[in-house]
Structure 1
Amino acid sequence: MSGKADPRSAGERTTSRARLDRGRGALGPALELVHTGRAPTRAVLTAELGVTRATAGAVAAELEALGLIRVDARPGAAAGSQGRPSHRLELAEEGPVALAAQVHADGFRAALVGLGGRIVATTPGCETVDADPAKVLATVVDAGAELLRATGRRCVGAGLAVPSAVTEPEGLALNPLHIAWPVGAPVQKVFAERVRAAGITGPAFAANDVNLAALAEHRHGAGRGARDLLCVATGHRGVGGALVLDGRLHTGSSGLALEVGHLTVNPEGRPCHCGSHGCLDVEADPLALLTTAGREPGPEGSLLQQANELVREEYADPVVRAATEALIDRLGLGLAGLVNILNPDRIILGGLHRTLLDTDPDRLRAVVADRSLWGRSGGVPILACTLDHNSLVGAAELAWQPVLDDPLGALSRV
């Protein structure tokens, strides 16, 4: 308590409390609107929530008191606009953060991510992934804890992105093929234990990295505004997919939906870890590009980096061009099959697939349109992911979700 007297009359204080009580249920929706950039002003917030200006003001003030947003004290109208100027709403720059961690075939890193998907700080990426998930997760959590100590930020929770299907609600990594972890490793349990041992408050979650990339892109990147968003990406090894429906990840009955890497796109192709041949997983990832181009993976840089550099720097080489076109065609076949099944209103591509799209967008879009019923009817927009470290941002979204659902309740527990 500050000890300062409230200058308002008893009636004014009662009215203010009543407005806030009516708007408490709108705290979460209001925070999500600001978090995703859909409510830049209090006037927009009022319209989106469908409440009175007074109630919207009370909700915004409460979120500001919680240290989550900042309300511009001097409202101003944009140039050329008419009507009453509105208070701008911004995310608090020094507000709480979520601890995000990502593990992939070529390393791991930790980051602190604020509301709005803003990365506040990151650790240097480590390049060696131990076969024991407990060792890796202990190292990445300790690195994240050091970031929290260095920045002095309040932490709302932690999220982990892994290159494997992750069961719900158990949090088991069912197919961490490219990082040599045991099948069924209890990554969420181990991660949560390491988070608690490091003295970090808040809940801890784990999920598939492409699922989390899709969630981040839907809220803050190339997927904004899409209703049915399909994301397909290849990072360091393999191919993953994710679907966002009406703003929520579609993970299936137990978290295992959209294993798109095991669509067959080349029946006479390479053997896949799943037992089949010619799956997208082994026909359209960075290793596939290097192999098709006759290049041995080098010791310097990740496979993703090497594949991206090959396309960007040596595309004029006929062998590299032919290899790139072969991967574009395989990717297009896989996307066409997914379009036929899912009928998304937007597709976003990440990792090497983003580079393939940038290199020859007309070829990829033509393959998808030619092989898909819905593509022929007008085409599905195919865009590149736009966020750096989108899996890390998505991992943070896991930790932020309880706060978005119930700001008062979640922050009282951390």
Structure 2
Amino acid sequence: MNGKATHTKTRLDRGRGALGPALELVHTGRAPTRAVLTAELGVTRATAGAVAAELEALGLIQVDSRPGAAAGSQGRPSHRLAVNDSGPVALAAQVHADGFRAALVGLGGRTVATAPGCVTVSADPAQVLGEVVDAGAELLRGSGLRCVGAGLAVPSAVAEPDGTALNPLHLAWPAGAPVREIFAERVRAAGIEGPAFTGNDVNLAALAEHRHGAGRGAQHLLCVATGHRGVGGALVLDGRLHTGSSGLALEVGHLTVSPEGRPCYCGGRGCLDVETDPLAFLTAAGRDPGPEVSLLEQSRELLRTEYEDVAVRGAAEELIDRLGLGLAGLVNILNPDRIILGGLHKALLEADPDRLRAVVADRSLWGRSGGVPILACSLDHNSLVGAAELAWQPVLDDPLAALG
């Protein structure tokens, strides 16, 4: 080996530990150029170049062969970095009360392909997970792309370390269903490469929003969202989900906001889960839920088209006040630096942002000292993107070990 090749190999050896951090910087959009990558990693330009070249050789990123600089910028032009649009993908799956969906998601949170969603969910989790994996496997065959692994989002707390769905209250599945084990078995049976992971849908939505959406840059991100039924919450601390000692943290749906309110599935009364979800909104607005589309879509459509109706506006204000009370309690306990809202809560925020922010500020200690930014989630199908993030994580941790 000649001297130049030896020197290049030495640089790359020094930079191997930076491969994962470098990939995550490109993946989350925080290193659009090699110059930024160099600064973020705290390495020399030569080492950053070797790291970028290795990630490109693995098929994960693209390095622009022609250095460029933005108009008006000073200094040496730098090579632009981007995720490889033709690179590997993760299989993402989501199950909720009104159906399931499968997708292929590449680096950068980019959805490559989506299978048509099923609108009925069997009481047998093995049947449902088999169907959603089959839909994903068909997408993979059609794409011809390499798969790094699979991730599943479910509307239930997922207990660790066993990966059981502790309380799939809005599905007819048995409590404690071994969803991770079943999903992993179906993934292997379909011949899909890579490990399989399972997580709570709102946890995964928060992870996706933190990396690619409205939560980017937050250090202590609180996410609260409705699904098609119920309410969930999640907390991302310094880029990692906070799931507690056994995966059950942030079950905010069972925070009481109306002590004399509706009976909840958990055995309590007046929980966020039954006081601020789509069914609660439709009921408060005096609308009978129809079977044509999901409760969430019916609620969103009602807000979009009939918000000036006295009953609809009154129902929205009622739910906003209850949601604000719940958020204020969470702010007092968690002291987040940003709150993001999804599902019906996003639509309520957009309908009357001043009212919701005023309730939170008035009822929280920290809100009175300056307020906490409250934003709408910005990603489509963020739970699916978050499920893919689970599958991408081993690659982000160690690209060489994961992809060989």
Query: Pick from 187, 194, 204: which aligns with 1:195?
Result: 187
Provide the residue aligned with 1:395 in structure 2.
Answer: 387
SS in 1 for 2:78: coil
Write the letter of the residue equivalent to 2:329: G
The reply on whether 1:69 has 2:73 as its aligned counterpart is no
Task: Provide Cα deviations, 1:248-277, integer angstroms capped at 9, x if missing partner.
Answer: 000000000000000000111000011111
Query: Pick from 372, 377, 391: which aligns with 2:369?
Result: 377
Superposition pairs for residues 99-138 of structure 1, below 5 Å? 99-138=91-130
Superposition pairs for residues 346-357 of structure 1, below 5 Å? 346-357=338-349
Provide the residue aligned with 2:84 in structure 1.
Answer: 92
Provide the residue aligned with 2:143 in structure 1.
Answer: 151
Provide the residue aligned with 1:3 in structure 2.
Answer: none
Query: Pick from 239, 242, 262: which aligns with 2:231?
Result: 239
* Structure 1 residue 299: Cα displacement: 1.5
* Structure 1 residue 12: Cα displacement: 0.5
Provide the residue aligned with 1:5 in structure 2.
Answer: none
Provide the residue aligned with 2:169 in structure 1.
Answer: 177
For structure 1, the 5+ residue unaligned runs are 1-8
SS in 2 for 1:323: helix
Query: Pick from 192, 200, 209: which aligns with 1:208?
Result: 200
Give RMSD over aligned pairs: 0.6
Provide the residue aligned with 1:166 in structure 2.
Answer: 158
In structure 1, how many angstroms separate the alpha carbons of the residues matched to 2:296 and 2:26?
34
Query: Pick from 29, 32, 40: which aligns with 2:24?
Result: 32
In structure 2, how many angstroms separate the alpha carbons of the residues matched to 1:134 and 1:158?
16
Task: Provide Cα deviations, 1:19-70, integer angstroms capped at 9, x if missing partner.
Answer: 0000000000000000000000000000000000000000000000000000
Query: Pick from 59, 81, 94: which aligns with 2:73?
Result: 81
* Structure 1 residue 315: Cα displacement: 0.8
Superposition pairs for residues 9-28 of structure 1, below 5 Å? 10-28=2-20
TM-score (structure 1 length as normaliser): 0.97
Query: Pick from 42, 60, 74: which aligns with 1:50?
Result: 42
In structure 2, how many angstroms separate the alpha carbons of the residues matched to 1:55 and 1:369?
48
Task: Provide Cα deviations, 1:327-369, integer angstroms capped at 9, x if missing partner.
Answer: 0000000000000000000000000000000000000000000
Superposition pairs for residues 236-315 of structure 1, below 5 Å? 236-315=228-307
* Structure 1 residue 311: Cα displacement: 1.1
In structure 1, how many angstroms separate the alpha carbons of the residues matched to 2:239 and 2:331?
19
SS in 2 for 1:178: coil
In structure 2, how many angstroms separate the alpha carbons of the residues matched to 1:197 and 1:139?
12
Write the letter of the residue equivalent to 2:159: T
* Structure 1 residue 198: Cα displacement: 0.1
SS in 1 for 2:158: coil
Provide the residue aligned with 2:330 in structure 1.
Answer: 338
In structure 2, how many angstroms separate the alpha carbons of the residues matched to 1:311 and 1:190?
38
Task: Provide Cα deviations, 1:87-145, integer angstroms capped at 9, x if missing partner.
Answer: 00011010000000000010001000000000000000100000000000000000000
Task: Provide Cα deviations, 1:224-256, integer angstroms capped at 9, x if missing partner.
Answer: 000000000001000000000011000000000
* Structure 1 residue 78: Cα displacement: 1.0
SS in 2 for 1:179: coil
In structure 2, how many angstroms separate the alpha carbons of the residues matched to 1:341 and 1:157?
36
- Percent of aligned pairs sharing the same letter: 84
Write the letter of the residue equivalent to 1:131: A
In structure 1, how many angstroms separate the alpha carbons of the residues matched to 2:2 and 2:301?
68
TM-score (structure 2 length as normaliser): 1.00
In structure 2, how many angstroms separate the alpha carbons of the residues matched to 1:330 and 1:106?
25
The reply on whether 1:367 has 2:359 as its aligned counterpart is yes
SS in 1 for 2:150: strand
In structure 2, how many angstroms separate the alpha carbons of the residues matched to 1:348 and 1:83?
38
Write the letter of the residue equivalent to 2:368: R
Write the letter of the residue equivalent to 2:143: T
* Structure 1 residue 77: Cα displacement: 1.2
